[in-house]
A and B are shown apart, each in its own frame.
Chain A
Amino acid sequence: MSLLVVRDVFKSFGGNVALKGVSFSLGEGEILGIVGPNGSGKTTLLNVLSGTVRQDKGSVFFGGKRVDRLSPHVRARMGIGRTFQITRLFSNLTVLENVLVPLHYGGPGSDGKRAEEILGMVGLLHMKDVKAGSLSLAQRKRLELARALSLNPRLLLLDEVFAGLNPVSVREILDLLRRIHSETGVAMILVEHVLKALFQITRRVIVLSEGRVIYEGEPEGMANSEEVIKAYLGERYEAFRGKGP
């Protein structure tokens, strides 16, 4: 049975239609990449899944239950953790406190020891008493991951987790995600612009363009899809190809 089923989701903001009938499903423990040009609806889709934005039409099932009318905090307690494109940590709480708040909902064994285990996993244990606001960007991303992990999630929604990082940090976060996946078996959806990093961790991607799914499958197939090329490079590229040698 699929862990997550998204069926025909529509969402518009005023006259601007962000999602036009998006459907896909995700298996338990699966890693899925969502890519697409700016404004294609990637973050809106993630917001619909986590509940910060409510869809106009369509449905979302998680673990066999319909969740699309539930508040974000209820979905979080059910095991949907997320991170943000621009990190949203509790800046004046310490690193440890940031993890302790969600850990409350993480099921049995939710205590200080578990918090330290999680911080150890993301490599922030030595900074546990530091205010979250004074961390570097790479550390903030790690802490957001730790915070989401404290919910003991079955699904992690990661919004541009590699954005703004230097190549060394990208590699480190990539290793961390792999370790998290192998140790916890959590399913992940990564919305991403850094395709090179993304393709190292997932075998399945969805390409969104103007609110529609225009490609679904292995990363390699993307380069051969006319629709994908058109979405990224525009109609003129099409014309150029037609005239080519």
Chain B
Amino acid sequence: MDTVLQLLVESLFLGTFYAFMSLGFSLTWGVLNIINLAYGSYIILGAYLAYTLHIYLGLDPVLSLPLSFTGGFLLGLFFQRFLMNRVMNLEPFMVLILTFGLDIFIANALNLIFRADIRSIDVPYAERSHLLGPLIITEVKALVFVLSLILTALVYLLLHRTWTGRAIRAVALDREGARTVGVSPEKIFLITSGIGTGIALASGNLYGVLQGFTPFDGGMLTVKAFLVSIVGGLGRVESAVAGGLFLGVLEVFTGFYLGEGWKFFASLIVMFLFLILRPRGLLGGKYYGET
């Protein structure tokens, strides 16, 4: 019983992180209709950014979160303005090819700079854990959980309580309709791409604290973000949370009962099942405005 409880807590922690991590992917998919295959490499880029800032400036990854987000935001603006705008109105296949190329580019650039060794961000609280009744709470995991929760809530508030958020949801629902009420979809695309990439890099900070990473881990993270979006459904922040928690439970439980090697395999099986049996996902919804 205690074991199950422990696994559930681990699932909650990991799942909440996955939810936040996937928000940017799901947002750009839902609003811009772009499936960004470079998304995982953005996350890894964030991890290396946090790593570098930690090594050279002694900056804690938590403190460099705003920096990563800002850097990602600017990068998102740049990619959207100079790359995505050129292909996003062509056939979807072009977007896939472009982002796939971008993924390879980022991974190899990181490999040139940092080499392929596994890096980790050694924060002083990395090994600390506490007993809470029957539970063992690892400080790092709890920290990432709390931060993911706060940041996810912030994204929710941004989308629902600010003018920009309403405009983003409006554009997701009806680009031309939004235009007739004064909103420029092109500007909203830029902002959305900025926010999406900002989320990716910021979640890279958290990922780097949770575990070691190499330049080539991006592909696997893209698949995870994809899975969260498929399982949860694209609709809303709530969908990403549902998908993230689902993936958290799946990974933690298969990892414990079947062995680490089964985790990724099991999640792929589940993704296929969802695509076949319930393509709308748990909470449904095709776009960031639709139910």
B180 within 8 A of A: yes
Contact B167 A101 (CB under 8 A): yes
A131 to B167: give the CA distance in the assembly, Å: 16
> Quick one: CB contact mask for B120-144 with A, threshold 8 Å, 1 for yes?
0000000000000000000000000
A105 to B187: give the CA distance in the assembly, Å: 15
User: Which among A89-97, A116-124, A227-235 touches the partner chain?
Assistant: A89-97
Contact of A93 among B169, B179, B183 (CB under 8 A): B169
A: residues with CB less than 8 A from B are 50-52, 71-73, 76-77, 81-82, 84, 88-93, 97, 100-102, 104-105, 131, 133, 147-148, 150-151
Contacts of B163 in A (CB 8 A): 100-101, 104
Main secondary structure of the interface of B (DSSP, over half): helix
B57 within 8 A of A: no
Contacts of B113 in A (CB 8 A): none
Shortest distance between the CB of B186 and any CB in chain A (Å)? 9
CB within 8 Å of A: which of B219-253? Answer: none
A32 to B276: give the CA distance in the assembly, Å: 54
Shortest distance between the CB of B270 and any CB in chain A (Å)? 28
Contact B179 A76 (CB under 8 A): yes
Contacts of B291 in A (CB 8 A): 92, 131, 133
Q: Which residue of A lies closest to B174 (CB)?
A: A88
Contact A93 B166 (CB under 8 A): yes
A119 to B201: give the CA distance in the assembly, Å: 41
Contact A77 B182 (CB under 8 A): yes
Contact B182 A50 (CB under 8 A): no
> Quick one: CB contact mask for B166-189 with A, threshold 8 Å, 1 for yes?
110110011011111111110000
Contact A101 B180 (CB under 8 A): no
**Given A88-B174, A92-B173, A92-B289: A72 touches B179 (CB 8 Å cut-off):** yes
Q: Which residue of B lies closest to A96 (CB)?
A: B166
Contacts of B179 in A (CB 8 A): 51-52, 71-73, 76
Shortest distance between the CB of B174 and any CB in chain A (Å)? 6
A101 to B165: give the CA distance in the assembly, Å: 10
Contacts of B217 in A (CB 8 A): none
New A-B pairs, 20, CB < 8 Å, besides A50-B180, A90-B174, A151-B181: A71-B179, A73-B181, A73-B184, A76-B181, A76-B182, A90-B173, A90-B178, A91-B289, A92-B291, A93-B169, A93-B170, A100-B166, A101-B166, A101-B182, A102-B181, A102-B182, A102-B183, A104-B167, A131-B291, A147-B181
